[in-house]
A and B are shown apart, each in its own frame.
Chain A
Amino acid sequence: MTELNELKLKVLELLKEDARRTPTLLATLLGVDEQDVRTSIKELEDQHVIVKYAAVVNWDKVDDEKVTALIEVQITPERGRGFEGIAERIYLYPQVKSVYLMSGAYDLLVEVEGRNLREVANFVSEKLSPIDSVLSTKTNFTLKKYKQDGIIFENHEEDNRLMISP
């Protein structure tokens, strides 16, 4: 686990809000030297703390239908490797967007994306369920995404302030 200094933590927070912020802007906002920011970002990237710069997309706004399912998977852990090997077998499929090891009633939570219901169903029945260690799956289709990564997709809190006020 990488121990981060205060500057790196603040850089991460600001980039999480908006990944397009330049090192110059970050340095101004934080009141520090630009070179320090550049160094911090480089180190964070090298250490794989910053893994990728991506956009948070509300696909519901786009005429390109996607179906997302959250699949609860119960598995038998492997001797010596626990859940690692089976998790890897699952997350390497391109249609799998995320995999979490969970506490509670099931072991893995697998997020799968497909063009339609059938594609997701086929993945579950043909790829996921037949894996030897998989004991059971329970597929939950996502109907609507309200909030992701702290961002509310349909935020009704408009800025209704007066243009000029004392």
Chain B
Amino acid sequence: MNLKTEAFTDSNKAMSSYLSPLVREIPSSGIRKFFDLVGGNKDIITLGVGEPDFTTPWHMREACVYSLERGFTSYTSNAGTPELREAISEYLNEQFDVRYDPKNEIIVTVGGSEAIDLALRALIVPGDEILVPEPCYISYSPITSIGGGIPVGIETFAKDEFKLTAEALEAKITPKSKVLILCYPSNPTGATMTYEDWLPIAEIVEKHDLIVISDEIYAELNYGDKHVSFASVPGMMDRTILVSGFSKAFAMTGWRIGYTCGHPDLIAAMLKIHQYTVMCAPSMGQVAALEGLRNGMGEKDRMVEAYNQRRRLMVEGFRDIGLECHEPRGAFYVFPSIQSTGLSSDEFAQRLLAEAKVAAVPGNVFGLGGEGYLRCSYATSVTQLTEALDRIGHFVEKVKKEG
């Protein structure tokens, strides 16, 4: 123990009392707790990984290495290199029919996570209510709370394919409602929204004057109709802060390169926070991302095709086991119901880990509507998935016999 710590201890004042209540009161992540249970046991087949099992394509890594050899190691402009912003602008226009000016409507961020944080910090006035369809990615509510906002969950259901409905959204709106966070394709449910699904949501957004943060990090991982960006819905462009990145589509999780696009006034506000906190996204990562957009579409398609094949294997596998499983149309997760076993999500996941050596994430950690489900990532090999399904099948049979 160093002197500084002793001095604090002597004063009989708990160190945690120095913390901001906003941070102190955030519960620790359920996913983190489960991670501690799993540890580093290599005998376990894990379906718990929320990232691609592919390595970043070699030509992108090589472009980064070459840039380092040339000494490209400085800060870039705060918003990101002009070339990358230009390429992002073209890509979004071509793929999703949304137009952003690379000069003042795009920021390259440290992953999509930073972009969401920037957007919420730029928007939240303490006491604002932030609407979040759940089950959802685990970070939205905590980041909202840290910013002084109040997260308001909107439960979605398997019978609706976990899509957000206009009725459910409107039912949660109060005079304090300010922001709606969307994440489609969804982590953890794999739900997607069509153009027709978006129209009534857009009406409510307009009627109640909401701003939308649309996390579209899984946009490329879409196996049904082509992904429809919420920003492309008529009237929604100026109300939407689009968040995306390279982690999922280009297998670049560790590089932390994301981006956010929106109205110049909103982007200018977010850029202030970005420049005073991280300055700019890593320069070498921006080089790799640019290479991906310019020359990586073929490999991206190859990876998406592989995910699609595994998705079919998982859905059919869970149904054969006798667990209800809605068909996910995006991302790389299946979200089967384990309610027929009579176990809670936590019990099921913990026993599956202990008795069948398969790690999957209990659905309750993703918020409202997650209890009774299990998140299983299929970002792993067909051989591993086949073995995992076999083990889960035997486990479920055993549990049902007990019951």
Tell me the smallest distance from the CB of A111 to a CB of chain B, in Å.
27
Partner of B48, one of A14, A28, A165: A165
Contact A164-B359, Cβ < 8 Å, known A25-B386, A29-B382, A157-B55:
yes
A111-166, CB < 8 A from B: 157, 159, 161-166
Which residues of the partner chain A approach B40 to less than 8 Å between Cβ atoms?
A: 163
Size of the A side of the interface (Cβ < 8 Å), in residues, is 16
Task: State which of B9-17, B257-265, B306-314 sits at the interface with chain A.
Answer: B306-314
Contact A159 B35 (CB under 8 A): no
Contact B310 A29 (CB under 8 A): yes
B45-90, CB < 8 A from A: 46, 48-51, 53, 55
Contact A28-B41, Cβ < 8 Å, known A161-B53, A163-B35:
no
Q: Which residue among B31, B39, B49 has the maximum number of chain A CB atoms within 10 Å of its CB?
A: B49
| B34 interfacial contact with A, CB 8 Å | yes
Contact A166 B139 (CB under 8 A): yes
Contact A30-B53, Cβ < 8 Å, known A163-B41, A165-B48:
no
Contact A165 B49 (CB under 8 A): yes
Which residues of the partner chain B approach A166 to less than 8 Å between Cβ atoms?
A: 29, 31, 50, 137-139, 187
Which residues of the partner chain B approach A161 to less than 8 Å between Cβ atoms?
A: 49, 51, 53
Interface membership of chain A positions 18-33, coded 1 if the CB is closer than 8 angstroms to chain B and 0 otherwise: 1001000100111100
Tell me the smallest distance from the CB of B309 to a CB of chain A, in Å.
4
Which residues of the partner chain B approach A164 to less than 8 Å between Cβ atoms?
A: 31, 34-35, 38, 46, 48-49, 359, 361
Tell me the smallest distance from the CB of A41 to a CB of chain B, in Å.
17
Contact A163 B48 (CB under 8 A): yes
Closest A residue by C-beta to B360? A164
| B316 interfacial contact with A, CB 8 Å | yes
| B44 interfacial contact with A, CB 8 Å | yes
B132-154, CB < 8 A from A: 137-139
Docked complex Cα distance between A29 and B386 (Å): 11
CB pairs A–B below 8 angstroms (23 shown): A18-B382, A21-B382, A25-B386, A29-B312, A29-B382, A30-B312, A31-B312, A157-B55, A161-B49, A161-B53, A162-B35, A162-B49, A163-B38, A163-B39, A163-B49, A163-B359, A164-B34, A164-B48, A165-B35, A166-B29, A166-B50, A166-B137, A166-B139
The 7 tightest CB contacts between A and B, nearest first, are A164-B48, A29-B309, A164-B35, A163-B38, A163-B46, A165-B50, A31-B312
Given contacts A163-B44, A164-B361, 7 further A-B contacts (CB under 8 A): A29-B312, A29-B382, A30-B309, A31-B312, A163-B39, A164-B34, A165-B51
